[in-house]
Amino acid sequence: MVNPIHPSKALSRRGFLAGTGATALTLALAACGANERSASGTGSATPTKGGTLTILQSATDINWDPAKSQSMAVTSLALVHRRLTTWRIVNGQEAAVVPDLATDTGKVSADGLTWTYVLKDGLVAEDGSAITSAQIKHGIERTFADSLSGGLGYHKALLAGTKGYTGPYQGKHLASVETPDARTIVFHLTKPYGDWPWIASTPAFSPVPAGDNPATYTRKPVASGPYRVAEYKQGVSATLKRNPRWSASTDTIRTALPDTIVVSMGQDESVASQRLIADSGADRNAFGADRVAAAQLAQVTGNPSARSRLATASAGPLLYLAINVERVTDVDVRRAISHAVDKKAVQAALGGSLGAAVASTYITPGVPGRQEYDLYPTSTSKAEQLLKGRKVGKLVLLTANDDASVAIAQAVQQSLQKVGLTVSISPVEDDTWTERATQGNGSAYDLAISAWNPDYPSANANLQPLFASSEIGSGGYNVSRYRNPEVDKLLASAAALSVSEAKSQWAAIDKRIAQDAPVVPLVYRRNSFLHGSGVSNFFVNPFPSYPNYLTLGVTA
């Protein structure tokens, strides 16, 4: 995990399910005193077909190889590569899993161990070849090659018979992925896993024709989506043009409005914001892929034109205080800490209501199954009552060593000092934070500031990585080192159910974990993105808290 707060850091993933990928989202410090803007959607331009959409991003590379990508189902990679399933992201609505290349989100066997998908008719890749189940199988198998590591890998721990498998390039194949005909693909799992339809929306489930060169495919991918990579200038830009083989009749998610999409890389975030604020020339049909920089938020909200083009999520990724239960063993002390933390002070450290919304649950807003509750409203008197007669030694608060992280840690420290607790802040570099929080025996800290955003919209992806006992140490993100056999069973039981069946259980599990107070949910980070006046259908939902690239249009 990279520094969970520092604004200069990009997305990173850490594995759950025994070494696969989940997301720790970096959080940026918002501008102090910025006015609240609660609207999640802007982009009032009339959607039209044609024109050029420009994406301004600070990153200097895009990996177009689905095996190595961690791209969400609504951002850049999904413009080029389709998957078996995908996400339906509609402004103001809860995220949903829907078919993409497949005719449905999968049919599961009675024992929950086998999932079957049938591809839609008439699917054709950029090179003119029919998109087949064999291409999906090859795409999945190549993710096991050492040279193609780095992508999301949930499927690696769920598919049966993968131990020791190193990919298809030496002629070996997975028996747990069957292709009985050109349109049918069957997956055999090690255990029932109701979130499999979400797993099938990750990049690994994109078609890749056999005969690919793993070393060069990232620059010459075969498109299955509405756009192909027409030109790639390393560190400068990527130009996407229409894929003439794509058919809108088979794709209900991507509107494919622009003729051309240009990703302009290596852009200074502040400069990009200034260009979008100015809203002139080609920048009218552009948007920023990075959250608006802290220095620009106040400027944007003070400019009526720019403010009307700022999309801010009502909520987003969870920023939390982990309590090391192996060191803070008294549950009433942990509950006292939960009551004592002034979450509005943390919110203020992030710039107020525009920068963050006060949190009370572990499941993040916008994820199916979440229900609002608050077991520990801020109450100094309640905290003091719980602490009465208890001796608590000095608490070490582990945090990243940057201004934003330290400011949040100080807000927590001051809250706890008000109820008589002594807190020593330990600011460390990113690698040291990761080593102390996710490795070893956890003896280096009592409290830790961290953040989390799931890779797909499932409550399981919120709760399992942070609270399953299997995620303690060895790189796991159960930073509170929380062990509860009852909760482990509840998580496993809900994970085995279908998405719809499990939905009613996640909120109860969330609340059950909270009774033990291993984590204090502090705030949900509110991401803000700026776009030009010519961009249409631009919005940011609580999840994934990023714009939906797949439905954007521009004034031609």
SS (H, E, C) 310-362: EEECCCCCEEEEEECCCCCCCHHHHHHHHHHCCHHHHHHHCCCCCCEEECCCC
455, two tokens: 């890779």
Residues of the chain with CATH 3.10.105.10: 12-30+315-525
Q: Does domain 65-223 sit in CATH 3.40.190.10?
A: yes
What is the four-CA torsion angle of 27, 30, 36, 38, rounded to 10 degrees?
-30
Report yes or no: 105 and 197 within 8 Å, Cβ to Cβ. yes
Q: Which residues, 6 or more positions from 492, have their beta carbon under 8 angstroms from its beta carbon?
A: none
Report yes or no: 208 and 142 within 8 Å, Cβ to Cβ. yes
For residue range 489-544, list pLDDT tens digits in order.
999 999 999 888 998 899 999 999 999 999 999 999 999 999 999 999 999 999 99
Residues of the chain with CATH 3.40.190.10: 65-223
Strand partners, 115: 108, 187
* Number of residues that this document lists for the chain: 556
Query: Residue 292 and residue 255: Cα distance in Å, rounded?
Result: 26
Query: Residue 52 and residue 50: Cα distance in Å, rounded?
Result: 7
* pTM, full prediction: 0.89
Look-up: residue for tokens 């001796």?
Answer: 391
- How big is the CA angle at 315 (ends 519 and 278), to the nearest 5 degrees? 135
Query: Residue 85 and residue 251: Cα distance in Å, rounded?
Result: 11
Phi and psi based region of residue 368 (left: phi greater than 0; alpha: psi -120 to 50; beta: remaining): beta
For residue range 72-93, list pLDDT tens digits in order.
999 999 999 999 999 999 999 9
What Cα–Cα distance (Å) separates residue 417 from each residue in 342, 344, 380, 446? 11, 16, 10, 15
**3-class DSSP state of 382:** helix
pLDDT in tens, the chain (556 residues): 333 333 223 233 333 333 333 333 333 332 222 223 333 456 666 778 999 999 999 999 999 999 999 999 999 999 999 999 999 999 999 999 999 999 999 999 999 999 999 999 999 999 999 999 999 999 999 999 999 999 999 999 999 999 999 999 999 999 999 999 999 999 999 999 999 999 999 999 999 999 999 999 999 999 999 999 999 999 999 999 999 999 999 999 999 999 999 999 999 999 999 999 999 999 999 999 999 977 788 899 899 999 999 999 999 999 999 999 999 999 999 999 999 999 999 999 988 888 899 999 999 999 999 999 999 999 999 999 999 999 999 999 999 998 889 999 999 999 999 999 999 999 999 999 999 999 888 899 999 999 999 999 999 999 999 999 999 998 899 999 999 999 999 999 999 998 889 988 999 999 999 999 999 999 999 999 999 999 999 999 999 999 999 999 998 6
Q: What is the CATH number of domain 12-30+315-525?
A: 3.10.105.10
Beta-strand ranges (E) seen in 402-541 are: 423-428, 447-452, 519-525, 528-530, 535-539
Between strands 260-264 and 52-56, the pairing is parallel
Return the percent helix, strand and coil in the chain, to nearest 5: 30, 20, 50
Backbone φ and ψ for 357, nearest 5 degrees, come out as -115, 140
Between strands 41-44 and 310-312, the pairing is unpaired
